[in-house]
Amino acid sequence: MAPFEWVRYPWGYKDVVMTNIAIDAGKELMLTIGLEESVTQLGEVTVRPNVGKNKPLNEMVTVSAHTFSIEETQKFAAAVNDPARMATAYAGVVGADDGGNVLVIRGNTPTGLLWRMEGMEIPNPNHFANLGTAGGGISILSAQLLSDSDFMTGAFPAEYGNALSGVFDLRRAGLIGAELRYDLLRKEYQPDLNQLQTTIQTNDYTHSLQAFAQGNLRLSEQLTFNAGLHYLRLLLNGTDAIEPRGSLRWAFAPPPMPCRTGL
């Protein structure tokens, strides 16, 4: 056969041209080709995000407000996906004790904290909380269900009428649900066939459903019984799991001081 010319235009490499390549009938031809990388100098691209981190989501708020994301509740030290524990990193906010997420904001009472969800006031959203308080052991709100929210420590707009010390204005994420992906593989040895056979091999996704319930019963002025229930259903195989929770809380209150009056 007559000689031919071979041209190659590889992406990211310089063009290759080989001439006078002879091919014999009935014989295999192998070519070893070295490629040289082609470097192209491009212009610079500057990306500037338009994110006002110091600007709260509520346009009526001007000062003493912080906007936080769910990623921040996962990265702050000792936050454990709890917005209240994360807020202790802000100036003027301290935790009452390490056993709960009760907040003291600028010296005000912890009971003056207001919780809102999508513009609606909600009760204390914490596990194992006492009546009339704004904190508890840990938040019942899943971080995966929340979106960017506001935390205010003073100078509240008129819409936050019941707040004395601070406000948590929470917002839900656009999509609520739990999707689980799995990859199952099962092989069994068949003695009659003397071979290893694959019985299950699939790659798919499923969903899970969860529900929570929590309540407390004050047995006396010092003793409170807290109980909760966690329900989980996996749609992959239709299995259910129920996890009960319970605790006792004893309040160590000092005895009342005697009051003496006289002239």
Residue 146 is assigned to a structural domain of this protein: yes
Measuring CA to CA, how many Å separate 24 from each of 7, 21, 33, 220?
19, 10, 20, 102
Please check whether residues 97 and 188 belong to one and the same domain. Answer: no
DSSP helix/strand/coil, 255:
coil
Please report whether residue 114 resides in a domain.
yes
The CATH number for 135's domain is 2.170.130.10
- 187-205: pLDDT as tens digits: 777 777 777 766 555 667 7
Would you state the pLDDT for residue 258? 47
Q: Which residues contact 42 (CB under 8 A, 6 or more apart)?
A: none
d(CA 63, CA 54): 10
Residue 104 falls inside a structural domain? yes
Last residue of a domain, one of 139, 170, 201: 170
DSSP character at residue 172: B
The residue out of 125, 144, 170 marking a domain boundary is: 170
| DSSP per-residue letters across 4-73 | EEEEE--TTB--EEEEEE---TT----------B---PPPP--------TTS-SSTT--SSEEEE-HHHH
Tokens describing residue 253 = 């209150």
Residues 165 and 191 in one domain: no
Number of Cβ within a 10 Å radius of residue 263: 2
Q: Which residue stretches of the chain have pLDDT < 70? A: 1-9, 51-54, 130-132, 143-144, 174-186, 197-203, 252-263
Residue 155 and residue 138 share a domain: yes
Query: Based on the domain organization, do 80 and 162 belong to the same domain?
Result: yes
The pTM assigned to this predicted structure is 0.47
Bridge pairing between strands 16-21 and 138-139: unpaired
44 lies in a domain? no
18-75 residue pLDDT tens:
777 777 777 777 777 787 888 888 888 888 877 666 677 788 887 888 888 777 777 7
In a domain, 263, yes or no: no
Residue of 64, 65, 69, 47 whose CA lies nearest to 56: 65
Residue 158 sits in the same domain as residue 226: no
Domain that residue 159 falls in: 65-170
Residue 253 has what pLDDT?
58
255 in a structural domain:
no
Dihedral pair phi/psi, residue 70, rounded to 5°: -70, -30
Domain for residue 201, yes or no? yes
- Residue 215 in tokens: 């309540």
27 plus 72 within the same structural domain: no
Look at residue 178 in the predicted model and tell me its pLDDT. Answer: 57
Look at residue 56 and tell me if it is in a domain: no
Instruction: Identify the domain boundary among 170, 203, 229.
Output: 170
Specify whether 160 is located in the same domain as 192. no
Number of structural domains (the chain) is 3
Q: What is the pLDDT of residue 19?
A: 78
User: What is d(CA 202, CA 59) in angstroms, rounded to the nearest whole number?
Assistant: 50
